[in-house]
Structure formats: structure tokens, C-alpha cells
Structure 1
Amino acid sequence: MKGQEWYQADDIAEAYEDKRFSQGGRVIDRREKEAVVDALAPLEDKRVLEVACGTGRFTVMLAERGAEIVGMDISEAMLEQGRAKAHAAGVDDTLFFMKGDAGRLPFPDNHFDAVFAMRFFHLAPDPEGFIREMRRVSKEQVFFDTFNRYSTRSIYNWALPMGSRLYSEREVRELLVGADLELADADHDFVVPYGFYRAVPGWVARPFRALDSAVGRTPLGDRLASVSYWDARVSE
């Protein structure tokens, strides 16, 4: 698969965060971390699994906030970056990284309080199977994000080296129903697509982000948003 081959390359892992979350990309990093913390809180002693954890941006942050967390990824190069980050932060005792396949999670049913995945479903070749696995190992909550089909994301999507799958709201709701999950909350953001922020310095990104957020608060904001955050609960 083109996306997996691109993602697992050693040079991609080494430069992943610098290319995506430096300069203007810092506004993306802050917003994504805010979304994860808001959805999963309270975190103290919560058992959490991150699917496709990459270099540990979220896993380390959640471990620092008291979660007992496992980060799983298909790329050993990404995991090595995460382990180094966890060691530097002093959270080795509550954070464990492992290589694994999201389609066959190596955990028993209802093993975690919450399971989440960020920047994953746009690369997922089998989203239905993956979300069913996330639901299977979670006893309470599944949280994930998607890139939206009817948004500015579609303008440059074809140019991305790894490809990118876009979702409509109807498609996401069908995924949730198929996995026996109930949507608890949804948040929509980024009228200006991610690619713009990564391409500009911080001093340019900040005023654009302010404008972006202002548009997002209008009645049109949800319809124009290029990213959605989905907070689902296990059906009773």
C-alpha cells in the first residue's frame, strides 16, 4: 500500500514532526492535543490505547497527565522516536510502545477504558474493520479524527505522497453504527486546510488561524471544516 510504504520509511520518521509541527504547524499540534485531552479527560489512572501512535506526540502527553497508556504503530522507526521521547520525559513506567497491526489488535475484549487514533483513518485501507477492532478492545470510548470530503481538503488531496481518504458525515456515522458505537460528540475545525499552515512561518499562521477560527464559529463553520473529531461511546 502506497501510504504504508511512505509512512514506514526511516527518513520520514526522523523528519516527521519537524516537517509537520514546526513553524505554522504548531497551531495544528496545539489544536489536536487540545481535542485529545478534552475528549479523554479525566486521565488519571485511565487505561488508554493509541492506535497508530507515530512518534508519540499524544502518548507522551497523556502519560504526563496520569494515563496508563499503550502506543501501537506499524512503523518501528516511528516507535523508536516515541521511546526516546518517553525516556526524555520520564514516563517510561506508565507508557509502553509496541509494533502491531491495527486490523488485529493484540488485546482482549474491553481491555482499555478508551481507544483513540489521530491521523489514521485517512490512510486506513479497511476503516470498517479497524473501527470494529478499536471498539472491541475498548469498554467505554473510541475517539478519532477524519479529513472531510466536502471541504478545502479536497483541493490539494491528490498531491499528497501517501494519498488520503476523505469522509462525509454520513460515512462516519455508518462506521459508528457498524461498530456498535454511539456518537457522543463531534467537533469540526480548520476551514483553511492543514497543508497551508505547514507551509508558512508561525507569524503568518497565527493571524490566519484567528480568521479560520472566527469563520468556524459562524453557522457555516461546520460545513466548511476540513477536519472533524469524533467522540463515540460503546453502546449499552
Structure 2
Amino acid sequence: MSYKEFVSLVHKSTTRNYIERVNEVDKAEVAEVAIQFDKDYWDGSRLHGYGGYKYDGRWRKVADAMIQAYGLKPGMRVLDVGSGKGFLLHDFKEVLPELEVAGLEFSKYAIDHTMESVQPFIQHGTAARLPWPDDHFDLVISINTLHNLYNYDLWDALREMERVSKGGKYLCVEAYRNEREKMNLMYWQLTCRIFHTPAEWEADFKLAAYTGDHEFIYFE
């Protein structure tokens, strides 16, 4: 298991007003809307989620870095657990058209609004039960998804990533290292079920026998 920085390439490009998200609205009511992962979360107000999740090419640098780090070649298979609207998978295909991509997404709205280039490769489901056979993918990734699970589903999801991968595995989750980052995370998040320090995350990885790479993003 190694610490890899991929999402860090784009995470700090977003400006966040932590105080606004708790002062402007009833945070609990907003979160109740957000956890439906429907239109309001993806394409509604910024206070409800992404505030309009549109393709802008920023994930291309992440795709390029992953292709190089994991030695991806035409004909290999990549799975994105929590694929959203398919932006990263689209960028993978832009670089390597013969790469076989697949996505797993819980939000039916996100699937309906996934980029046409990769929409046929997306399945609806939960990370805790992946509908693919053992050792099927050369690389399995999950970005900013697993912290939205309760711990019992998280452990299953980690085991599932192990099961379907015959090679690389990488995940990115939110974490905090101090009280300021913890408060910022609590102010900003809408859908999290797990609030962990890096050490707590690593304990979960060990418990679930997850051997892949990982990255933490922080709200500084």
C-alpha cells in the first residue's frame, strides 16, 4: 500500500466558503436533500452540493497521472467505483481509446447525465456489492465516494475492490489532521457518514485487508 497524490492535483483549485454553508441555510435540511444524490446535489445550488457539475477538463491531469503511474495500456480494464458523471472515465478514453472502462454509480441522476462517450459502460449499484467477477480489472479506483458509506458497507466495499482487481487499486477519501480541518470538513460536507483521521482510515484498510494505494484530501 502506497500513498499516491492524484486528486490533490485538482482539489485545491476549488474555492470553498465553509462558514456560508452553515450560516446561509439550515445545514441539516440541506443535507437531507443532498443525500438523495439527485438533481439538487449535482446541478442545484452550491449550498446543496456541486452547484452544477459540468465537464471542464480538469480531470485530464488526473487521468494522465494514473495512466503513467499504473502503466495502463490499450486493452486493459479500469473500474471507477462512484463514477459520477463519468468525467474521469471520459478522459481515460480520450488518452487511450482502446482502454476498457467501467463505472459503478449509486445516483441514477448522475448516470442519466453521464457523458455520452462512457454512459454505456456505467452500471447502477452500491460499492459494497460490485457486479463483476474476481480479478477482472487491471485498475480499480474510487474517488470521494467511500466516506459516504457506513462502516459496515465501507469494509465490504474495500473487500470488493480487492476482489475484482487483478492489479492496481487506488482510493481517495476525506480526512482531517487537526481540529480546524475537522471543523471545516463538518461545515463543508453534506453526505459523509465517516469522519476519520488518517490513522483511523488506515485501521479500516487493515481491518478489511485492503492492500491498494490511497490518498486523503483535507479542508485546510
TM-score, normalization by structure 2: 0.66
Match of 2:164 in 1: 137
Of the three residues 147, 167, 183, the one matched with 1:155 is 183
- How many residue pairs get matched? 180
CA 1:37/1:74 → structure 2, altered by over 3 Å: closer, same or farther?
Answer: same
Of the three residues 163, 166, 190, the one matched with 2:195 is 166
Contact 2:82 2:103 in 1 (8 A): yes
Of the three residues 61, 75, 79, the one matched with 2:107 is 75
In structure 2, distance between residues paired with 1:189 and 1:11: 24
Identity of aligned residues (%): 22
Does 1:122 find its partner at 2:147?
Answer: yes
Contact 1:132 1:179 in 2 (8 A): yes
Gaps of at least 5 residues in structure 1 are 194-225, 227-236
In structure 2, distance between residues paired with 1:150 and 1:41: 32
Higher mean C-alpha displacement, 119-128 vs 5-14: 5-14
Contact 1:134 1:142 in 2 (8 A): yes
Deviation digits for residues 156-215 of structure 1 (CA, Å, limit 9, x no counterpart): 2222332353333333333333343435x666666xx3xxxxxxxxxxxxxxxxxxxxxx
Deviation digits for residues 41-61 of structure 1 (CA, Å, limit 9, x no counterpart): 424322011101011121111
Cα deviation, residue 32, structure 1: 4.9
Contact 1:44 1:65 in 2 (8 A): no
Larger fraction in strand: 1
In structure 1, distance between residues paired with 2:69 and 2:33: 27
Gaps of at least 5 residues in structure 2 are 1-30
Match of 1:52 in 2: 82
What SS does structure 2 have at the residue aligned with 1:130? helix
Cα deviation, residue 138, structure 1: 0.6
Does 1:112 find its partner at 2:144?
Answer: no
Higher mean C-alpha displacement, 173-182 vs 98-107: 173-182
Contact 2:159 2:210 in 1 (8 A): no
What aligned pairs does 1:1-236 form with structure 2 within 5 A after superposition? 6-15=35-44, 19=52, 32-33=62-63, 36-66=66-96, 67-82=99-114, 85-87=115-117, 96-125=121-150, 126-151=153-178, 152-159=180-187, 160-163=189-192, 165-182=194-211, 193=219
What SS does structure 2 have at the residue aligned with 1:98? strand
In structure 1, distance between residues paired with 2:184 and 2:53: 16
Letter in 1 for 2:121: F
Larger fraction in helix: 1
Contact 2:102 2:122 in 1 (8 A): yes
Letter in 2 for 1:58: L
Higher mean C-alpha displacement, 140-149 vs 10-19: 10-19
Cα deviation, residue 21, structure 1: 7.2
